Structures are given as C-alpha cells and as structure tokens.
Structure 1
C-alpha cells in the first residue's frame, strides 16, 4: 500500500503572532529540514517517497526543498494541505487569539465564516488524492496535520496531537481511505 509521510514544517523565523504573515525557516528550521530529508532518504527504496508536496507557505516549501533536491524532483504546491483559513472579517493581529480559542474546542465549534469541520475532512481528502499516485512526502502545518489525524482517529478535538517541527506522521492508503500507521514525534510547542 502506498505511504504518505505527513511532515510538519521546520521552525519558522517568526511565530504566528509575529508581523510576518509568511515567514521562512530560521537556522534551526533549516537543520530540521535537512534531518527530515535524511530520515526519508534512509527509508528502504520501496518505502521512500517519489513525490514531494508542500503547502504554499514559505516555511513548508523551505522544509520540503532538501528532500525534493535529494530525490531529484520538483516540490508540488497544493493549497489543500495548507494552513487553516482565517475568517475573512478577522484582522491579522487577531489571528493568534482566534487560534488559541479554536484550539480549546472541537472542529464544529470553531467560530468563523467557514465550516471548519468540513475543512478538516477536505484536508484528509486531499491527502487521499495525493497518495493515490504513490509514496508521497507532504509538508504541512500543525493544524492541518491535526485535521487529518482527527479524521482518521475519530477525535473531534482541534488539537488531539502536538506534532513537533519536522515530526513525520506515517499514513497508508488502500486507494480509497487513509489509515494511520504511526504518529510523528510530539513535543511541547508554542502553538498552544
């Protein structure tokens, strides 16, 4: 069965409460991206990803680049594995407070102009479509990874899992559904 390696981006140069809406990686994040590449390249040939997919945001693209270079492929950009959308009427400065509140509850309880429970199912659906084309490394975000894991485990909490930077969660597919093989490394994180 094809495998999907769901990797949280490396440590960004700024946090989601900072002034930069799309920060790249800091030095630690760059080292983490190289360590993720090394882990993926050390997999047996029949389990190694042949594709690299990333969220459109810089921290994910920069985390994906070392793996793509090692595999000799281009990073494919897919908004379906991107960051959770902020409500349209929310000021950028208020995103941090909105996220903190959202993280305390269930997907259906998130306040905004979007059905966030449907968004989490869309993230899982995007992953099913990606792995249908073979073993794939997907570089994504804390919330999107929680969305996928919550769908697979039936846990309706927005945060049921705390993937560390460059944590690698392994999923597999029978072509129609995803199965959680192994959660990635968890750590205390500044997201909460």
Structure 2
C-alpha cells in the first residue's frame, strides 16, 4: 500500500497565505493520523515541501524515528504566473475537468504519478487536496479535477499490481471548505 495523506487544517486559507503552517486543530489531526498510519503499517514518508505538509508529517516522523524525504513532485499545484486572483482561478479549475483547464497541467500530473508509482510499498505521501485528486483521477481515468473531497488528514490507500497503481480506498471526505 501507498498512503496519500492530505495535510491537517492550515492556519490560513489558500488565498490568504502562500505557505501557512497548521492550526491548533491541524496539529491534533496530524498527531491522530500518525497513530493511524503506524497501525496501517506505514514505514517511510515523503512530504510536499509546503509547511502544512511538513508539519503534518512531523508526528509520524517522531513516532517512527525517521525523517520524511521532501519531494516537490507531490507539492500543491502551482498557480500560473499570469493569474492575478488565485482563489478565483482555483475555484474555477476545481469545478471543471483537466482538459478544459486554462493551463496545461498534464506534465505536473504525470510527473507526480510517475514519482508515486516508483515509491516502495508502505510509504506515506503527505500532500494536498488538488494533488491527491490529480493522482486519483489519473489512476482511475477520471477527467474531473475534483474526484473526491478528502478531509484534513484523511488517508487514501493505493494498491499496486505489476503494471499499475489502483485506488484501494478513498480517504474520508469532509464538507470542509478548500477555498
């Protein structure tokens, strides 16, 4: 299994701060998911370089006596340079399909899938709402940007066959607002 974990609740919204850490609730969520991941048999960790993912990974790192490898391949989607209002841009993107996006993200999505496919089993990937959805969509051949709504610190489990990854179980969903 490969475990995709959405970061805990951030201390600021995506449109309010470019790289917020976790809120107090987010830190509690990170502690709880660390226990769950250990119980699921997770052995190693990869983290997005974004602070909210690094802080979410920390309790797991401490429990397991390891340091997560920081990997930009699993980071949040980049806002294109020509976008002035990133909240409005992301809201529009998330309501549609990848093929209708105003910018081409196929390279980002494919690089992330290739990276995750190459990870050993029992690895946790601490990542983001859109990134986890991009992976799930690529794996399931679903063209939508938002395939499901992973809650903070939800755990999506990927299984592997000799030729591909499969979504074995989607993480818990929540009605939390992304933007």
Alignment of 1:1-192 (within 5 A): 3-18=1-16, 20-43=17-40, 48-91=41-84, 94-112=85-103, 115-130=104-119, 133-174=120-161, 176-191=163-178
Superposition RMSD in Å: 1.3
Q: Which moved more, 1:60-69 or 1:117-126?
A: 117-126
For 2:36, what is the secondary structure of its paired residue?
A: helix
How much has 1:189 moved relative to structure 2? Answer: 2.2
Q: Which whole-Å CA distance do the structure 1 matches of 2:4 and 2:62 have between them?
A: 18
Count of residue pairs brought into register by the alignment:
179
Point out where structure 1 has 5 or more consecutive residues left out of the alignment.
Answer: none
Q: Which whole-Å CA distance do the structure 2 matches of 1:81 and 1:191 have between them?
A: 18
For 1:10, what is the secondary structure of its paired residue?
A: coil
For 2:118, what is the secondary structure of its paired residue?
A: helix
Q: Taking structure 2 as the reference length, what is the TM-score of the superposition? A: 0.95
The C-alpha deviation readout for 1:2-40, integer Å capped at 9, x for no partner, is x1000000000000121x211000000000000100111
Contact 1:128–1:176 under 8 Å retained in 2:
no
Q: Which whole-Å CA distance do the structure 2 matches of 1:169 and 1:65 have between them?
A: 19
Q: Which whole-Å CA distance do the structure 2 matches of 1:63 and 1:141 have between them?
A: 11
Contact 1:51–1:73 under 8 Å retained in 2:
yes
Q: Which whole-Å CA distance do the structure 2 matches of 1:69 and 1:13 have between them?
A: 22
1:72–1:175 distance in 2 versus 1, CA, 3 Å: farther
Q: Which whole-Å CA distance do the structure 1 matches of 2:148 and 2:160 have between them?
A: 21
